[in-house]
Amino acid sequence: MLPKPEPFVKPDMIFSVSDASALLKNVVETAFPELRIRGELSQITLASSGHMYMTIKDSNAAINAIIWRGTPVNFKLEDGMEVVITGRFTTYPARSNYQIIIQSIEMAGVGAILKMLEERKQKLAKEGLFDADKKKPLPRFPQTIGVVTSPTGAAFQDIQNRLRERFPVHVLLYPATVQGNTAATEVAAGIEYFNRMNNVDVIIVARGGGALEDLLPFSEEIVVRAAAASHIPLISGVGHEPDWMLIDFAADVRAPTPTGAAEMVVPTKISLIQDIDNLAHRLSASFTTRLINLKQQITNINVKSPKQVLMEQSQRLDDLGKTMGLIINNKMQNARQKLDLIARFPIILENMFKTLNQSIIHAEQMLKSLSYKNVLQRGYAIVRDEQGTIISRASENKHPASIEFADDTIML
């Protein structure tokens, strides 16, 4: 039970309404310059002025609360959300009530925070901020590393120590708070600074472990969008192994810890020495094999005397001459055959004409033997109607008609 304050107004004092209200306002604001309250939000209203009015309550009481326009709120406020607010008490004389002016607000309860993070994750994923095809590879041997973190935190010291142990490189620090209302803005500004200056080969965003509420700045949209938009490869080393912030999905590589980020960004001196030794061994083996092959080729070379070389060339010329002679003889023989064919062409043409003439005479004879005129010469006749159609039966007899004989045609 809180102690009850001693009264300081005497019973015989008389105040005006305004003076009494002013006195009460002064007492309340003096007694409660800052207060943290945990409760459930309800009746949230956004006024046209930009101010937000609401009630914070529990099962037994309710207090009016106001968030002035411009006060940072890092998540969407909803009725029924459990929060912890920090603010100061004051009174509103016009309606004779008291209220709390909220200076900062944070979620209370892991369940509400996880629900908010999942909704934000789905929204940003639909925009393509987490797409795998946008991930950039880390440089093999970075010359300068940019680190965005608190200059006094253990994360920066861990990164520096691990880099010195593995592969000393130049480190540029962008100092940023990693907890509180301004953390998200400062971390995003650090990422954008290195991208704007283009003075580092890789960026590490780091912070040590902490409660889920403490790590929330690294899940703010401004930080996630800055990480996704970075054209410089970016490693997220926030929290410890189980901790997953939304920046982890937007970063090119996610490290389990700040120390892990330092290990990912540079190789160890020992591994480099081993790589150099392996390359030297492979190079030596390859060079030795090459020398052996060249030596064998030199051994297989037979040195010939000039006379022997001349004789071999002379033999090649003889072979070439024989080959050319055969080719020329074949060409001449083909030419003679073509000339003989041309010389016999008139005879062939004459024989073709004779054969064609005989075929014509034979066709003429066949035509005559098949003509109905020959039948008429033997005493037959053909009867036709006036359309020229042959009448073959007495029942088809029509007038007028014509009878064709071998020598003439008469009309009936």
Phi/psi class of residue 306: alpha, beta or left (left: φ > 0; alpha: ψ in -120 to 50)? alpha
Please state, in angstroms and rounded to a whole number, the distance separating the CA atoms of residues 220 and 247.
Answer: 8
List the structure tokens of 41.
């939000």
385 burial (CB, 10 Å; 0-12 / 13-18 / 19+) is middle
Q: Is the peptide bond before 11 cis (omega within 30 degrees of 0)?
A: no
In the chain the domains, ranked by start, together with CATH numbers, are 17-108 (2.40.50.140), 114-130+141-267 (3.40.50.2300), 373-411 (no CATH)
Give the pLDDT confidence score for residue 200 in this predicted structure.
Answer: 95
- 13 φ/ψ angles, rounded to the nearest 5 degrees: -75, 140
C-beta separation of 239 from 179 below 8 A: no
Token pair for 360: 């014509």
Query: Of 156, 216, 221, 236, which Cα lies nearest the Cα of 188?
Result: 221
Contacts of residue 261, defined as CB under 8 A and 6 or more positions apart, other chains included, come to 159, 204, 206, 235, 236, 237, 255
138 burial class (0-12, 13-18, 19+ CB within 10 angstroms)? middle
Mean pLDDT by 10 residues, the chain (412 residues): 69 79 79 85 91 91 91 81 87 83 81 79 92 92 94 92 88 93 93 96 92 86 95 92 86 93 83 68 78 77 67 78 84 81 75 82 76 71 75 70 73 72
Compute CA distances 21 → 16, 24, 96, 224, 369, whole Å.
8, 5, 8, 48, 146
**How many Cα atoms occupy the beta-carbon half-sphere of 58 within 13 Å?**
6
**pLDDT confidence of residue 341:** 74
Place of tokens 């160890």: 268
DSSP 3-state of 45: strand
pLDDT of residue 126: 93
- The answer to whether 135 touches 235, Cβ cutoff 8 Å, is no
Q: What is the pLDDT of residue 51?
A: 92
Helix orientation angle between 221-229 and 110-126, rounded to the nearest 10 degrees = 40
Q: Quote the crossing angle between the two packed helices 345-370 and 306-343, to the nearest 10°.
A: 40
HEC letters along 217-247: HHHCHHHHHHHHHCCCCEEEEECCCCCCCHH
